[in-house]
A and B are shown apart, each in its own frame.
Chain A
């Protein structure tokens, strides 16, 4: 079978979804806050229906993220939500909590399941464990390196998804940490602005060049990486390994930025597929991304070439 990997992106709204598909993605992932965290934007059921139709009309797939840690109150709402999604023809559900897997098996059998337990999806054998229980794809933790990714692809029958661009989630608490901090300083006026503020970030004393975005939602506090992964120039290694899906994460980025990133990855993937043996990375393909890159955020290789200790 010929190798034609997926290029996947998040979308903040319908307009971005359309632009990203036109720019070259072959799949889009959306969702809503009740069931998913760290979304680029909110898509309620009506929008998911519309998004599915739009994506399918452009030969792209539409996935719905349900990556939350599910609480008791949400368990009862899973069947109806999942049945609605299936009736729209959504192509897969992204899950981390086994409650979602169980609900899909009971109420929407046949629906494809992408296992994404965020930073705890770390090895091929556990991916196969979930495959035996119905998962069709393994969304690999962002803290894994190239060697582990290649090794996993070689050892797995299940589809492998790797994030190649954008920021990553590095901390999730149920606590409202920004609000708690604001209340700690409640006598000072400027802390009042923190409530609902966008564009907040943390900085640690010894690391003045690193800005970690922080935001709150109804499921607590999220902290994001200070760097944006950019694997454009090393895509051939991942393509050589036959990774099934490449994700461009668009959270907290402009539509223009995401469209530019997607175009660059599309061009690189197409160039590679046209002639894998003679493929060479063209440095100029990075320029449009660099031009739009926030100067306060480094374009990095994430953990792809890092050795971690413990």
Chain B
């Protein structure tokens, strides 16, 4: 990836939008929600205890949802809940009460795929918006029109739509369009994969996906394997989506909500990715004519990335270079080390909470919202009683560390892996 100096607009004749798109981030639990909002998300989406597609994520109780909504409100941010399963008969009992509870908890919208969940929500929780999930794999304007006529204010498009197709949809239908701009991708059309059901009896469309698409397979032709010992086997596994280099196109084509994938991802991941996109979007609106991609944003994203990145279907249908055939390498050797709780200006020591092992002498970085950033090495480290330490061993242990510059609560400390 490289920075561009002169930008040629993709959508000639289209005026620049006046409204900022929403930056929508995932939050696997309450703590992640707080970080996503603090680092600049306009809205977060979470999972409840039922009807969501991440049965392995922490997921929110109604009490936690209320707390999340309260926290988000202070930043002017909204909270959405994914209720995006395809229900089976036995799942339908209790759905009305569940949706009412979401509305009472202050949830702004649900993201739903199954029409019966959509219709039920409209009936029993009319103050809550319903957004159509990407699980419906909407590719065309006519289907978007259908859902608009069904009363939905927003459609999340299939990840398979290109810039040109999104533009055509926007030209035909006046409705909010949400699109994934970052994160892991199903290599299939969303919802059109039951590999997990067949391999492990886990229902992928009710949250049981075991990621069989990332397993390795032998491909047989006329009864004999095509790949020999030592050759990369077949896989459907895709690289992850990253559209940070195309912010002006995303804005100018008229996407209303920029969605980041990853309810299972770490605080470090969510904060870093949100931080980068927040800055890029704001920079564009500060001065669209002179917008330039900044290397720092790319660095932030790469330091949090789990897999190699690509541009999904926005520019072209993915090809051979967009799949992961060889052993995965972590693109950048950085990891989440600690969270800042407090900073004492007089001593220049920060109180932090350990999230992974680090030692005195190790190279670290502090990152905060809006691009605050500096590097240092760990020089002075103590426990809360002031005992000197050489190493931070214990997860969640509170420690004091001398920092080169002032830091703020919820700043993130990451370490370079040796």
Residues of A within 8 A of B (CB): 69-72, 74-75, 78, 97-99, 101-103, 118-120, 122-126, 128-130, 143-144, 148, 151-152, 155, 170-181, 183-185, 188, 190-191, 193-194, 197, 199-205, 207, 211, 214, 221, 223, 225-226, 303, 306-310
With beta carbons under 8 angstroms apart, the residue of B141, B198, B313 that contacts A225 is B198
| Apart from the given pairs A102-B146, A123-B89, 15 other A-B contacts in the complex at a CB distance below 8 Å | A69-B192, A70-B142, A97-B140, A97-B143, A98-B147, A120-B113, A123-B86, A152-B89, A155-B89, A179-B320, A184-B323, A185-B227, A203-B218, A205-B218, A308-B197
Decide: A307 near B199, CB < 8 A? Known: A172-B193, A193-B221, A203-B218. Answer: no
Q: Contact: A129 with B236, CB < 8 Å?
A: no
Compute how far the CA of A155 lies from the CA of B157 in the bound complex, rounded to whole angstroms: 32
Decide: A118 near B208, CB < 8 A? Known: A143-B197, A225-B198. Answer: no
- Measured CB to CB, the closest approach of chain B to A170, in angstroms, equals 5
Q: Which of B157-210 contact A (CB under 8 A)?
A: 158, 160, 165, 168-169, 187-189, 191-195, 197-199, 201-208
Q: Contact: B146 with A306, CB < 8 Å?
A: no
Residues of B within 8 A of A (CB): 55, 86-92, 113-116, 119, 135, 137, 139-143, 145-147, 158, 160, 165, 168-169, 187-189, 191-195, 197-199, 201-208, 212-213, 215-222, 225-227, 231-232, 234, 236, 238, 313, 317-320, 322-323, 325
With beta carbons under 8 angstroms apart, the residue of A177, A200, A207 that contacts B220 is A200
- Measured CB to CB, the closest approach of chain B to A227, in angstroms, equals 9
Report, nearest first, the 10 A-B pairs whose CB atoms are least far apart.
Answer: A310-B208, A99-B142, A183-B320, A98-B146, A310-B206, A180-B320, A125-B116, A310-B203, A172-B192, A126-B116
> What residues of B have a CB within 8 angstroms of the CB of A126 in the complex?
86-87, 114-116
> What residues of A have a CB within 8 angstroms of the CB of B55 in the complex?
310
- Measured CB to CB, the closest approach of chain A to B95, in angstroms, equals 9
Q: Contact: B193 with A202, CB < 8 Å?
A: no
- Measured CB to CB, the closest approach of chain B to A216, in angstroms, equals 12
- Measured CB to CB, the closest approach of chain B to A158, in angstroms, equals 13
Give 10 CB contacts A-B under 8 Å.
Answer: A69-B158, A102-B142, A125-B92, A173-B192, A174-B317, A175-B236, A175-B238, A185-B227, A190-B221, A310-B206
With beta carbons under 8 angstroms apart, the residue of A98, A118, A202 that contacts B143 is A98
> What residues of B have a CB within 8 angstroms of the CB of A148 in the complex?
88-90
Compute how far the CA of A84 lies from the CA of B192 in the bound complex, rounded to whole angstroms: 29
Q: Contact: B115 with A130, CB < 8 Å?
A: yes
Compute how far the CA of A185 lies from the CA of B86 in the bound complex, rounded to whole angstroms: 38
Compute how far the CA of A96 lies from the CA of B373 in the bound complex, rounded to whole angstroms: 50
> What residues of A have a CB within 8 angstroms of the CB of B119 in the complex?
129
Decide: A75 near B141, CB < 8 A? Known: A122-B87, A123-B88, A174-B160. Answer: yes
- Measured CB to CB, the closest approach of chain B to A272, in angstroms, equals 25
Q: Contact: A170 with B198, CB < 8 Å?
A: yes
- Measured CB to CB, the closest approach of chain A to B55, in angstroms, equals 5
Compute how far the CA of A205 lies from the CA of B227 in the bound complex, rounded to whole angstroms: 13
Compute how far the CA of A200 lies from the CA of B218 in the bound complex, rounded to whole angstroms: 10
With beta carbons under 8 angstroms apart, the residue of B90, B91, B192 that contacts A118 is B192
Q: Contact: B317 with A211, CB < 8 Å?
A: no
Q: Contact: B116 with A202, CB < 8 Å?
A: no
Decide: A180 near B140, CB < 8 A? Known: A172-B192, A303-B197, A308-B208. Answer: no
Q: Contact: B226 with A190, CB < 8 Å?
A: yes
- Measured CB to CB, the closest approach of chain B to A29, in angstroms, equals 19
Q: Contact: B205 with A122, CB < 8 Å?
A: yes
With beta carbons under 8 angstroms apart, the residue of A118, A183, A207, A306 that contacts B199 is A207
Q: Contact: B89 with A124, CB < 8 Å?
A: yes
Compute how far the CA of A191 lies from the CA of B146 in the bound complex, rounded to whole angstroms: 43
Compute how far the CA of A40 lies from the CA of B193 in the bound complex, rounded to whole angstroms: 20
- Measured CB to CB, the closest approach of chain A to B263, in angstroms, equals 15
Q: Contact: B139 with A171, CB < 8 Å?
A: no
Q: Contact: B192 with A171, CB < 8 Å?
A: yes
> What residues of A have a CB within 8 angstroms of the CB of B189 in the complex?
69, 172-174
- Measured CB to CB, the closest approach of chain B to A217, in angstroms, equals 14
Decide: A123 near B116, CB < 8 A? Known: A144-B88, A190-B226, A203-B218. Answer: yes
Q: Contact: A309 with B226, CB < 8 Å?
A: no
> What residues of B have a CB within 8 angstroms of the CB of A183 in the complex?
319-320
Q: Contact: A180 with B322, CB < 8 Å?
A: yes
Please give me the residue from chain A that is nearest to B147 by CB atom.
A98
> What residues of A have a CB within 8 angstroms of the CB of B160 in the complex?
174
With beta carbons under 8 angstroms apart, the residue of B147, B194, B207 that contacts A143 is B194
Q: Contact: A122 with B199, CB < 8 Å?
A: no
> What residues of A have a CB within 8 angstroms of the CB of B226 in the complex?
190-191, 193-194
Compute how far the CA of A308 lies from the CA of B85 in the bound complex, rounded to whole angstroms: 14
Q: Contact: A184 with B207, CB < 8 Å?
A: no
Please give me the residue from chain B that is nearest to A101 by CB atom.
B146
- Measured CB to CB, the closest approach of chain A to B324, in angstroms, equals 10
> What residues of A have a CB within 8 angstroms of the CB of B92 in the complex?
123, 125
Compute how far the CA of A295 lies from the CA of B102 in the bound complex, rounded to whole angstroms: 52
Decide: A72 near B203, CB < 8 A? Known: A119-B192, A173-B188, A180-B322. Answer: no
> What residues of A have a CB within 8 angstroms of the CB of B114 in the complex?
120, 122-123, 126
